[in-house]
Structure 1
Amino acid sequence: MFDILVYLFENYIHNESDIYVNHAELTKELSKAGFHDDDIFKALKWLDHLSALQQSDVKPYIDHSISGSTRIFSQQELQKIDVQGQGFLLFLEQINVLDVTTREMVIDRVMDLDSHSISLEDLKWVVLMVLFNVPGHESAYTQMEELIFEQPEGLLH
C-alpha cells in the first residue's frame, strides 16, 4: 500500500495533477502499473482520511493551547515508530517543520498504514504528504523537501 501512496504522490499530487478526477480511472491505471486492487483501495482510503484531517471537527485530539509540552507515544505508536522515527519527529518540531497539529496528523497517518513498523525513509514520505495537504505550510513542505532530497556536496569526514 505504501508503494502506491509514494507512486501517487510522485506522479499526481506533487506534480499538482488532479488526483480526484475519477477514482475508477485511477484504479485502472494503478492496476496496469502492477498494484493489487486491495492495496489500491487502502491507499485511496488513506488519502481520503488525510484530506479529512484538515477539517476541524475531525481532529478533536488537537489542543492549540498546549505549548512546550512533550509528546508521549502510546504502546501501539512505540511499536510502529521506532526510536529513530520518534527522534526525527522531535527534530522536525524543533526546527519548526512540524507543529503540534501536523505532528499529530503525521502520527495519525502512520498509524493507519498497514505495516507493523515504519522505516525512517517511509516516515519522511508521510511527513511530506501531510505537509503538502495542509494549507499554510508551504515553507515547511519546502524545508522538508530540502531535508529529504538535497545531497551534501563534497566529501563527508
Structure 2
Amino acid sequence: MFDVLVYLYENYWRPDSCPEHDQLSRKLTSVGFENDEIEEALSWLDGLTSVAETQAQMQSALSMRIYTASEQDRLGTTSIAFLSFLESAGVLPAHMREIAVDRAMAAPGGSLALEDLKIIVLMVFWSMGEEPDALILDELFVDDADRLIH
C-alpha cells in the first residue's frame, strides 16, 4: 500500500489531479501494482479524504496530546516522538497530527514503521494541498543512515 501512496505523491501534484478510482486503478495496474495493494491504498485514501474534510481545527496550541494504549502499541515511541518533533517545530499543526494518527491507525498490518508514518504524514500534507518546506521533506525522505554529518 505504501508503495502505491508514494507513486501517487510522486506522479500527481494534488489529489484532485488524480483520475477517478476506476481509471486510476487501471493506471496503477499497468504500472505493475497488485490489485490488493491498489484497493487497499485507494480505500485508505478515501478515509484520508473523509477525515481531512471533517477534521475541524479544534485543537488549541496549548493542548497536550495523550496517546491511547492502542495508539502507543501501533505507533511506537519512535513514531510518536517524530510526530512530536514535527509539531514542536511548527510544521505539523495539531489538526494535521490528528489526521496522521487516524490514518496511521487505519493502515493495514501491525506495528507501524517510522518510514511508513513518514509516508502517512507526507500524504496528509498532499491531501491538504500543502507542500512541506524543504527541511521537512528532507526529514520525510532521507534515511538517517544516508545523512552526511558535517
Structure 1-normalised TM-score? 0.79
Match of 1:118 among 112, 115, 118: 112
Find the aligned partners of 2:90 and 2:5 in 1 and give their Cα distance: 25
Contact 2:9 2:123 survives alignment (8 Å): yes
Q: Which has more radius of gyration?
A: 1
Match of 2:55 among 56, 59, 64: 59
Question: Does 2:7 match 1:12?
Answer: no
Match of 2:85 among 79, 91, 115: 91
Q: 1:12 to 1:130 in 2, by over 3 A?
A: same
Question: Percent identity at matched positions?
Answer: 35
Find the aligned partners of 1:116 and 1:22 in 2 and give their Cα distance: 30
Find the aligned partners of 2:39 and 2:147 in 1 and give their Cα distance: 38
Deviations 1:77-120 (A, max 9, x none): 11110111110100101101111100001001111110211111
Query: In structure 1, what is the equivalent of residue 2 of structure 2?
Result: 2
Q: How many residues align?
A: 147
Question: What is the DSSP-based 3-state SS (H/G/I as helix, E as strand, rest coil) of the residue aligned with 1:54?
Answer: helix
Unaligned runs of 5+ in 1: none
Which has the higher mean CA deviation after the structures are superposed, 38-47 or 97-106? 38-47
Which has the higher mean CA deviation after the structures are superposed, 29-38 or 103-112? 29-38
Question: What is the DSSP-based 3-state SS (H/G/I as helix, E as strand, rest coil) of the residue aligned with 2:17?
Answer: coil
Compute the RMSD of aligned alpha carbons. Answer: 2.5
Query: In structure 2, what is the equivalent of residue 130 of structure 1?
Result: 124
Query: In structure 2, what is the equivalent of residue 32 of structure 1?
Result: 30
Indicate the structure with greater helix content. Answer: 2
Unaligned runs of 5+ in 2: none
Question: Does 2:140 match 1:148?
Answer: yes
Amino acid at match of 1:46: W
Question: What is the DSSP-based 3-state SS (H/G/I as helix, E as strand, rest coil) of the residue aligned with 2:71?
Answer: helix
